[in-house]
Amino acid sequence: MKPNRILTPPHTFHIPLDRRRFFKSMALASAGFTLPGYLAEALTYAPEVTQGPYYPLANNIPLDKDNDLIHLNNNLTAATGIITYVTGRVLDASGNPVKGALVELWHCDSPSPNTAGAQCNYLYSASATRNPAMDANFQGFGQFLTGTGGFYKFRTIKAGLYNSRTRHYHFGITFPGMTARKTTQLFWNETTKDTNGTNWATQNSNDSVWAGITDANQRASVTKDFTVVDVATGAVATSWDIVMNYTPVDPTYPGSGFVVPGSVVAGPGGTNRFQVSIPAYTNYTYEVYGNPTLLNFGSNVTNWTSPYLTNLSWAALPFALTPAGALATNKFTATSNGTLNLYLTAPPEKGFYFISFRVPGANTGIP
Ligand SMILES: [Fe+2]
């Protein structure tokens, strides 16, 4: 989060109007290229390269992880470095914009001087804290969730230098339904120099990651010119459409759940069970919920320490996969498309159950 300046509404970026026009104009300029499958045969997929060791640890993911990396929390002092805008779209394997893609950017700070022996620093720290050596004003890591059109945008600084690497940004892309991010890196189309104007020992050509991208088109797609967009500050910008060789999962259902009726069927040992039949899809995970009632409390309703009271909430009901089977689970991940029958002992409230589902790859949690 960024400070809300007095009497001004909050913005994604606290940037001058001309900068906001810049983003708006970029969006308009690209709007004509969102045709489904546009030139799919000509697409160059972003090369998948190493994530590297410096993605923040789970305990180090900062609270401030928005797409403006030059301000940390409420600090009004900007990070040291050349302000850099990176904008573009996330596209799938067919060239279609991807909505709901998580774009992550993390990279080295830009200390001054940034010379041999003066290494830049990542947010990463082996302990559960922010790397104390890093520029105290640099966010170091940011995320952006794409909307319709697949657009993303970041404001950050030019990446600093460390031994054996040329300048680079780390990007992570997670499509809806992916279980792990795919990672790539972005480079500068320039002769890399330190702050003394001395050529850095590692240029793109002898950077192991850059040189490891053997496809020339892919290499070119992540080697960017950065254009000055603000002479006064020297701020630069580049545009990058990140084309991923993946297709996002499109949730088939129009919401997070639906209701279905239950019908009585014969259970084990002359008992009755209640059957629900749902349209199931491969790798979707299903749960069945019943409406909480006081029915099962009995005399325990006056005992406020009773463990029964913990049941006074919506809860996933246990079910079996056959009419007489064991009530062994309360979530099930379908292995094929088609009708899925589930069998419960709890009667449906008012004749209906609520079915909750999660798309493939989603965290199925602990029901
Ligand atoms: Fe790196």
Non-local CB neighbours of 362 within 8 Å, separated by 6+ positions? 177, 285
pLDDT (tens digit per residue) in 149-208 = 999 999 999 999 999 999 999 999 988 877 789 999 999 999 999 999 999 999 999 999
Q: Are strands 235-239 and 83-91 parallel, antiparallel or unpaired?
A: parallel
Q: Compute the distance from residue 306 Cα to the ligand 1 centre, in Å.
A: 54
What pLDDT score was predicted for residue 214? 97
CA of 364 relative to ligand 1 center, distance in Å: 32
First and final CA of the chain: distance in angstroms?
32
Residue 288 burial (CB count, 10 A)? 27
- pLDDT above 50 (res 254): no
343 CA → ligand 1 middle, Å = 52
Q: How far is the CA of 320 from the centre of ligand 1 (A)?
A: 49
* Residue 354 pLDDT class (50, 70, 90 cuts): confident
- Whether 15 has a pLDDT exceeding 70, the answer reads no
353: DSSP letter: E
Return the ∠ at Cα 276 (arms to 273 and 280), rounded to 5°: 140
Residue 167 is predicted with a pLDDT of 97
Q: What is the pLDDT of residue 230?
A: 96
* Distances, alpha carbon 107 to alpha carbons 9, 161, 242, in Å: 29, 10, 17
pLDDT tens for residues 52-95? 999 988 777 888 899 999 999 888 999 999 999 999 999 999 99
CA distance 171 to 158: 14
Rounded CA-CA distance 288/139 in Å is 42
Distance 233 CA to ligand 1 centre (A): 26
Token pair of 289 as six digits: 């919920």
53 Cα to the center of ligand 1, angstroms: 8
What number of residues does the chain have? 367
Q: Which of 52, 3, 10, 362 is nearest to 178 (CA)?
A: 362
Give the model's confidence band at 99: pLDDT under 50 very low, under 70 low, under 90 confident, else very high.
confident
Q: Residue 163 carries which side chain, given as an amino acid letter?
A: N
224's tokens: 């960017």
Range of lowest pLDDT (26-30, 240-244, 256-260)? 26-30
The overall average pLDDT reported for the chain is 82
Range 243-272 average pLDDT: 81
Please, which residues have CB within 8 angstroms of residue 354's CB and are 6 or more apart in sequence? Answer: 257, 258, 259, 288, 289, 290, 291, 314
Angle at 366 between CA 361 and CA 367, to 5 degrees: 105
CB atoms within 10 A of CB 233: 13
The residue with greater pLDDT, 315 or 41, is: 315
Please classify residue 177 by burial: count the beta carbons closer than 10 Å to its beta carbon, then call 0-12 exposed, 13-18 middle and 19+ buried: middle
Q: What percent of the chain has pLDDT over 90?
A: 54
What pLDDT score was predicted for residue 289?
Answer: 83
Contact 184, 104 (CB under 8 A): no
Domains and CATH numbers, the chain: 17-243 (2.60.130.10), 257-358 (no CATH)
Residue 221 alpha carbon to ligand 1 centre in Å? 18
Q: Which residues have a catalytic role annotated?
A: 122, 162, 165, 168, 170
Please choose, from the candidates 136, 75, 149, the residue with its C-alpha nearest in 3D space to the C-alpha of residue 109: 136
Task: Please tell me the distance between residue 65's alpha carbon and the centre of ligand 1 in angstroms.
Answer: 18
Query: Between these two residues, 237 and 356, which has the higher pLDDT value?
Result: 237
Ligand 1 centroid–CA 40 distance in Å is 31
